[in-house]
Structure 1
Amino acid sequence: MEDFKTLLCRIRECKICEDELPLGANPIVLSAVDSKIIIIGQAPGLKVHNSGIPFKDKSGEQLRKWLGVTEDEFYNTSNFSIIPMGFCYPGKGKNGDLPPKKVCAPTWHPLLLTELKSTKLILLVGQYAQNYYLNSSRNLTENVYHFHDYLPTYFPLPHPSPRNNIWKAKNKWFEDEVVPVLRHQVDIILGKSEGN
């Protein structure tokens, strides 16, 4: 059994689908064996591809607001592992970035998740993560609305991209009703508040 640092190195050196990527392979993952919360997102955008830091963009700012955490708390791998569905920037499509490459999650997620034994919650950010992990016929909006059904393992969330502002405007219940529960869960798991 390889150690966790070796596994992360193997992921960061992965070139399985490099020929299909417009800017080549640059797998981005942030994780540690003692992470308490796993964030499974979509795939790095262009800014993240260039910086090498997951959620170092407007989406990350929004996600940290929802979670009620500082940037330091967010990038502390004892708190959060950030494991996308696709580890590399997939390129631009007509309506935003292309979908994450389908080879990443089945290749690497089982190996990572097996090692993350301190995890208390998995955040499924966006439709790709939810479609992969939830055995559900619901769409993203329904998954998020019925988030209680997936606890204590999963917490489905919309993608925090500014492109989703229309969705947020149509679904005001999300920030009014879901975000406070999410923050409470995060606070308890990170030891910022007592559980009820």
Structure 2
Amino acid sequence: MSVTPDSPVPDRGLETLLAEISACRACAGDLVPDPRPVVRVSPETRLLICGQAPGRLVHETGLPFNDPSGVRLRQWMGIDRETFYGHPAIGVAAMAFCFPGTNPKGGDFPPPARCAQLWRRQLLAQLPKVELTLLVGSYAQAWALGAGRKANMTETVAAWSEYGAGILPLPHPSWRNTAWLKRNPWFEAEVTPYLRQRVEDMLRS
């Protein structure tokens, strides 16, 4: 069962909802390869990582951020791979749950909007313990911040302190953003220490 953006959000429990998401084939026929939803959350999720969509390696393994982007993200967070996948406080739910395919012009296709329309409000309603959401990249920032986002991703991330304790906008940790990180040294000087402290505090408590 799914809902439209304006319909009430049903409460069927997280386990049931995750089973429905896993079985979702709403984009079958539109995606190559076939849909394979990848979501990793639990009732204890306190830190929710919201990226763009799974890449090819994530599609093949079923583990979110199981690629070079994940290595960089974990460095920003100050945690190792075992903690990232093993601690119940850490959850991952991208804007689209399935690999959207590779764009012949380079990179992956953008996340289909249909996925967020079908599932996102329902999933967030089942995660009441979330204290901090990482908005990784412009698609997640556009969905969550709406008119509150700035003119572009750089300006949105630079304004990170304006969004309160519950939201932290980040650039995508892809290797494609290595040049961006070099042009914007303030990110690793200001934002990543704050992120690491927040993560440390949540995992300690």
Short-chain TM bin: over 0.9
Equivalent residue for 2:74, pick from 60, 64, 67: 64
**Counterpart Cα distance in 2 of 1:35 and 1:47:** 24
Q: TM-score, structure 2 length as denominator?
A: 0.90
Q: Which amino acid aligns with 1:159?
A: H
Give 1:77 deviation, angstroms. 5.2
Match in the other structure for 1:54: 64
1:144-169 residue CA offsets vs partner (Å, 9 max, x unmatched): 11101112121000000111111111
> Structure 1 residue 15 and structure 2 residue 25: aligned?
yes
**Counterpart Cα distance in 1 of 2:83 and 2:77:** 10
1:126-147 residue CA offsets vs partner (Å, 9 max, x unmatched): 1100011113233111111110
**Counterpart Cα distance in 2 of 1:62 and 1:173:** 17
Match in the other structure for 2:4: none
Runs of 4+ with deviation above 6 angstroms: none
Three-state SS of the structure 2 residue aligned to 1:103 is helix
Match in the other structure for 1:95: 106
Match in the other structure for 1:118: 129
Equivalent residue for 1:86, pick from 68, 88, 96: 96
Give 1:105 deviation, angstroms. 1.1
Three-state SS of the structure 1 residue aligned to 2:69 is helix
Q: Which amino acid aligns with 1:100?
A: P
Three-state SS of the structure 2 residue aligned to 1:39 is strand
Match in the other structure for 1:160: 173
> Structure 1 residue 107 and structure 2 residue 121: aligned?
no
**Counterpart Cα distance in 1 of 2:176 and 2:149:** 25
Asked if 2 retains the 8 angstrom alpha-carbon contact of 1:31 and 1:77, the reply is no
Aligned CA distance change for structure 1 residues 48 and 163 (closer, same or farther; 3 Å): same
Please list every run of 5 or more consecutive structure 2 residues that lacks an aligned counterpart in the other structure. 1-10
Match in the other structure for 1:44: 54
Please list every run of 5 or more consecutive structure 1 residues that lacks an aligned counterpart in the other structure. none
Q: Which amino acid aligns with 1:131?
A: A
**Counterpart Cα distance in 2 of 1:50 and 1:116:** 26
**Counterpart Cα distance in 2 of 1:109 and 1:81:** 14
**Counterpart Cα distance in 2 of 1:76 and 1:49:** 19
Comparing 107-116 and 74-83, the one that deviates more:
74-83
Say what the alpha-carbon RMSD is for the aligned residues: 1.2
